[in-house]
Amino acid sequence: MKATIIVTLKPTVLDPQGITIQRCVQSMGLPEVTDIRQGKYFDVQLADNTPPERRKELIQRLAKDVLTNPVIEEFRIDWDQKS
């Protein structure tokens, strides 16, 4: 059982990496790229015998308490129903 957690900077928080990449890309001759924001992506694998109600709680906790710094980031969970 898998889930994907995506952690991004809050929209108003400065993203120096994104800005730098975007500037570079522009000067490389891709002026159409007007903005890039970088985030983190986590593929999480859960043991197959994890009960469904526990899954939800688990992934939530993982996303909220471990993978996200709530001061500057926010997260989003993509549930993957496969496998």
Partner 1 sequence: MITEDVLSQHGISGAEFDRIKDILKREPTITELGIFSVMWSEHCSYKSSRVHLRRLPTKGSNVLQGPGENAGIIDIGDGLAVAFKIESHNHPSYIEPFQGAATGVGGILRDIFTMGARPIACMNSLRFGPLGSTQNRHIMEGVVGGIAFYGNCFGVPTVGGEVSFAKCYSPNPLVNAFALGIFEKDKIFYGRAKGVGNPVIYVGAKTGRDGIHGATMASAGFGEDAGAKRPNVQIGDPFMEKLLLEACLEAMNKGLIVGIQDMGAAGLTSSSCEMGARAGTGVELELDQVPQREEAMTAYEIMLSESQERMLLVAEKAREKEIFEVFHKWGLDAVTVGRVTADGLLRVKQHGKVMAEIPNKQLADEGPRYERPMLPPKSTGTSRLDYFTFLDGCDETLIQEFLNADHNPGTADFNRLMLLAAGSPNLCGRQWVWEQYDHMVQSNTMIGPGSDAAVIRIKDTGKAIAMTLDGPAYLVSRHPREGAKMMVAEAARNIVCSGGRPVAATNCLNFGNPEHPEIMWQFSEVVDGIAEACSVLETPITGGNVSFYNETLGDNIYPTPVLGMVGIIENLDHVTSSGFMDAGDSIVLVETSRMDIGKIDLNDERALQFMVRDAIQSGLVKSAHDISEGGLASALAECCYGTMHRPAIGATVKIPSHLEACKDLFGEHPSRILLTTQNASELGKRAGAAGLELREIGKVGGKRFVLEYEGQNAVDLAIDELETVWRRTFPKLLS
Partner 2 sequence: MKFGVVIFPGSNCDHDCYYAIHSVVGRPVEFIWHQETSVKGFDAIVLPGGFAYGDYLRTGALAKFSPVMQAVKSFADKGGLVIGICNGFQILTESGLLPGALMRNSNMKYICKFLEIRTAATDTPFTNSLSEGQVLNIPIGHGEGNYFADVDTLKELEDNRQVAFRYVENPNGSVHDIAGIVNKGRNVLGMMPHPDRSSEKLLGSTDGKLIFESMVQALAGRAR
Residue numbers at the binding site for partner 2 (CB under 8 A): 12-14, 16-17, 20-21, 24, 28, 38, 66-67, 69, 71-72
Query: In residues, how long is the chain?
Result: 83
3-state secondary structure of 81: coil
Q: Would you say 56 or 67 has its CB closer to partner 1?
A: 67
* Best CA proximity match to 2, nearest among 62, 51, 59, 66: 59
3-state secondary structure of 48: coil
**Residue numbers at the binding site for a copy of itself (CB under 8 A):** 6-8, 18, 21, 24-25, 28, 30-47, 50, 54-55, 58, 61-62, 65-67
